[in-house]
Chains A and B, each alone.
Chain A
């Protein structure tokens, strides 16, 4: 039986597109909880979809949900670190300083930079961030997270505890001022 490569490629595209469709709400949900911006979240969904297609050409991920969570959060924090965002923030701060009408209302991009929780999460290592976000956003157990990343439960707990301590360093100023 001969296999038509064109048909196979077409079928692969259809499969990966269909597979990703069922994850769109989840990817969007993760991105939106982090960015709190609808348009940026849709951009993240688009970027994650392209990476999903690239990955599926090599072979679909064994644990697609875990893979998508990692890629989604990575993309959000790459967006946060982009030079364009720093330029936007510097301009907003300068305008705000010179304004006689009060502080300029920050746009969605600068919200990312002024968001101390997001900044704190950005200081974590990728593994620490993945564990904390899996726990907080998806209420996963340590055992489930360990299974997703193929590591021991004690390793996951160590990452989790270290991550919360790093977050505390940045966020402790909040309740000291209260």
Chain B
């Protein structure tokens, strides 16, 4: 009994996958000869498969062999790991620098011998003011305050301490 197009559709996957039995193949081919639409559909799908198969084959590709063993050691360092390392080094240097600066300044709360009303000029002066304003802050925070010059804006505290100490 000849196949109809609906039956052909059900057999199409087997035909394309080369899994039709001999008897099914004969009926399939017979319908293809009689039906233009099914024949066009089948031929276009077969062309597609042939192009794909040709692309995935090739004597040069098939002949190549692996030349080294994989390893569990990760050779590439991820970008984020580098950022973390750089940040850790920057913080370590910053803290060390701040500690050194504070030791050199020999910080003690007290007046600064500068002109009255003048803004702190040196890093050492700003560091002293930062300590006065935030005695419980960390060494790193005080050094950051000194760098940003935020203590220089508090002129009232500076003037008061200077007038107390005199000349």
* A interface residues with partner B (beta carbon < 8 Å): 13, 20-21, 24-25, 28-29, 32-34, 36, 38, 41-42, 45-46, 48-50, 53, 115, 117-118, 120-121, 132-133, 135-137, 141-142, 157-158, 160-161, 164-165, 167-168, 171-172, 174-175
Contact = CB atoms under 8 A, between A and B. Distances in A.
A25 B71 CA distance: 15
Contact of A137 (B44, B56, B68): B56
Contacts of B70: 20, 24, 45-46, 48-50
Contacts of B51: 117, 171, 174-175
A38 B44 CA distance: 32
Contacts of A174: 51
Contacts, number: 92
Interface in B39-80: 44-45, 47-49, 51-53, 55-58, 61-62, 64-72, 74
Interface residues of B, number: 30
Interface stretch (B14-22, B29-37, B84-92): B14-22
A50 B56 contact: no
Nearest to A48: B70
Q: How would you classify the secondary structure of chain A's contact residues: helix, strand, loop or mixed?
A: helix
Contact of A167 (B12, B52, B68): B52
A174 to B, nearest CB: 6
Contacts of B45: 164-165, 168
B134 interface: no
8 nearest A-B residue pairs (beta carbon): A49-B70, A157-B13, A117-B55, A28-B66, A168-B48, A46-B70, A161-B13, A33-B56
Contacts of A32: 61, 64
A141 B66 contact: no
Nearest to A13: B72
A38 B72 CA distance: 20
29 contacts: A13-B72, A20-B70, A21-B69, A24-B70, A28-B64, A29-B62, A32-B64, A33-B61, A36-B58, A38-B67, A41-B66, A42-B68, A46-B70, A46-B71, A50-B74, A117-B56, A132-B52, A136-B53, A136-B56, A141-B19, A142-B13, A157-B17, A158-B13, A160-B16, A164-B45, A164-B48, A168-B45, A172-B44, A172-B48
